Structure 1
Amino acid sequence: MNAPAKTEEFVPTVPAGVFAETVTSVQHYTDRLFRFRMTRPDSFRFRSGEFAMIGLVVDGKPVYRAYSIASPAWDEELEFFSIKVPDGPLTSHLQQIKVGDQVLMRKKPTGTLVLDALTPGKRLYMFSTGTGIAPFASLIRDPETYEKFDEVIVTHTCREVAELKYGFDLIEEINGDEMLSEIVGGKLRHYATVTREDYAFQGRITDLIVNGKMFADLGVPHFDPAVDRAMICGSSAMLKETKALLEQAGLTEGANSKPGEFVIERAFVD
């Protein structure tokens, strides 16, 4: 009698120039937001604040989108904070990942939300909406941020209170880390606002800048190009409006090749 033929296990082919990493944890915050962590290749190097192209094989073809790396450069794993888009080419599949699944990542990170793109200053604003807080999740856990600035203010605006939880979790994580909390000291401030529910701090961040409430709530002076620096990550409308407000205050936009007083991230997920 012939032995039964062995069935070969299907192993997806990983494209050249791409890492295939394993999901180590997944946390769903709302029906629109989740975060996940995955293994980090030994050879993968990035600057806190940069983004990478991550993806999945969908219908036999790899689909990639730009995602800010939410973990700091020193972390042994990689963290990402994502929206859920029901019909999104990538996120409709990415939101279903589980521990042990495989995620693809291209090998070259990039981005403008890095400390090197800013000229020296004293106070650093990080303006974010929604998942735009992800690159700042990386930067506020990087000791270099506190070596370069005396005060770091992270603003996070969402539609609903539940969507702010990731930001509050970050602050709690930092305060609970003995080494990191000592480095951060009292330099980090977190200013969370919502636009569609009752909350202690309400309103679009641009409106709160214009009417002066943000400065009053934080007890800081209005923008001063001599000391203030800023990073912006969020919706296209928010980017445009915040950029205009900073320029009105005399701050100039910077880049990796030419540092300035503020920088913008223009890479989006679907």
Structure 2
Amino acid sequence: MNVQAVKTLPDAQTVTSVNHWTDTLFSFRVSRPKSLRFRSGEFVMIGLLKDDGKPLLRAYSIASPSWDEELEFYSIKVPNGPLTSRLQKIEEGDEIILRPKPVGTLVLDALLPGKRLWMICTGTGVAPFASLLRDPETYEAYDQVILAHTCRTKAELAYGAALAKALPDDPLIGELVGDKLHYYPTTTREPSANEGRISDHIRSGEVFEKLGLPQWNAAEDRIMICGSMALNKDIMSLCEAQGLTEGANSNPAEFVVEKAFVD
């Protein structure tokens, strides 16, 4: 890819690998600024230079854990998207712009202590959870961790499925993961073992029955939400119906939702 040189910018980082999961989804890893400190689950601004030399930046969750020496990102490909139409063409050795000022609400600090942590997402909303699922602190804080990922097709679930499958055997944190991790994928436009929106599976009780877990309660369950506006609102209402309240970095509670990626 012929990306305009950005070596003169202090925020330039080198692409170390790219993985195209489907025609519409890809992940990539880049070098990590030595000065960057972040909490697993946070996001940063990344992008490329436009033809006029000005940076075009968008918010992207860091999919790698806080201890990783590199940074991983997971992205959708939008054919006519100002950034992703070009970002999807990056190759190893290319450079992107990264502004090292991490923020976000999907962090363990924003939740009160609990027994079970539910991570509920659609599409590329799985990215911040990919970070948290690879962080030892997540398994030290909770007895059970549930990743509930909804996509249109089974192919779009591949990134999260690969992660969930690999974690128990991970040489660094596999022992901590053990049997704590539960993976619950659902599809909305293709037949699968779990068809339909995750919100419908929660509402009907099907997800609890299949996983052998109790219904949500404010004393034990903590929920993280990252997806479309429709998903966010739906899951928030389900949380509130069970007596869970929304938390934040400054005021931890029972559930948190990332709103930075929703129009």
TM-score w.r.t. the length of structure 2 is: 0.95
Of 22, 30, 33, 2:25 maps to 33
The answer to whether the 8 A contact 1:55-1:104 is kept is yes
Distance 2:56 2:47 in 1: 5
Which residue is 1:143 aligned to?
Answer: 136
Change (3 A) 1:90 1:268: same
Which residue is 1:48 aligned to?
Answer: 40
User: How many correspondences in the alignment?
Assistant: 259
Distance 1:165 1:137 in 2: 13
The answer to whether the 8 A contact 1:195-1:204 is kept is yes
Distance 1:143 1:123 in 2: 15
TM-score w.r.t. the length of structure 1 is: 0.93
Of 194, 216, 228, 2:221 maps to 228
Which residue is 1:169 aligned to?
Answer: 162
Shift of 1:267: 1.4
Which residue is 1:6 aligned to?
Answer: none
Of 53, 64, 68, 2:57 maps to 64
The answer to whether the 8 A contact 1:67-1:269 is kept is no
The answer to whether the 8 A contact 2:6-2:96 is kept is no
Shift of 1:42: 1.2
Change (3 A) 1:53 1:78: same
4+ runs deviating over 6 angstroms:
none
Which residue is 2:202 aligned to?
Answer: 209
Which residue is 1:3 aligned to?
Answer: none
Alignment of 1:80-99 (within 5 A): 80-99=73-92
Q: Which sections of structure 1, spanning at least 5 residues, go unmatched?
A: 1-9
Identity of aligned residues (%): 61
Distance 1:127 1:179 in 2: 25
Instruction: Summarize deviations over 1:171-221 as a string: whole Å, max 9, x none.
Output: 233233223110111111111110111111111011111111111111111
Which residue is 2:211 aligned to?
Answer: 218
Distance 1:164 1:264 in 2: 21
Matched, 1:19 2:31: no
Distance 1:155 1:74 in 2: 24
How large is the RMSD of aligned CA atoms in angstroms? 1.4
Which residue is 2:184 aligned to?
Answer: 191
Task: Kindly provide the amino acid, as one letter, of the partner of residue 76 in structure 1.
Answer: E
Distance 2:170 2:7 in 1: 39
Distance 2:198 2:168 in 1: 25
The answer to whether the 8 A contact 2:6-2:12 is kept is no
Q: Secondary structure at the match of 2:173?
A: helix
Distance 1:269 1:246 in 2: 19
Shift of 1:58: 1.6
Task: Kindly provide the amino acid, as one letter, of the partner of residue 246 in structure 1.
Answer: C
Task: Kindly provide the amino acid, as one letter, of the partner of residue 63 in structure 2.
Answer: A
Distance 1:130 1:228 in 2: 23
Task: Kindly provide the amino acid, as one letter, of the partner of residue 205 in structure 1.
Answer: I
Q: Secondary structure at the match of 1:186?
A: coil
Q: Secondary structure at the match of 1:44?
A: coil
Q: Secondary structure at the match of 1:209?
A: helix
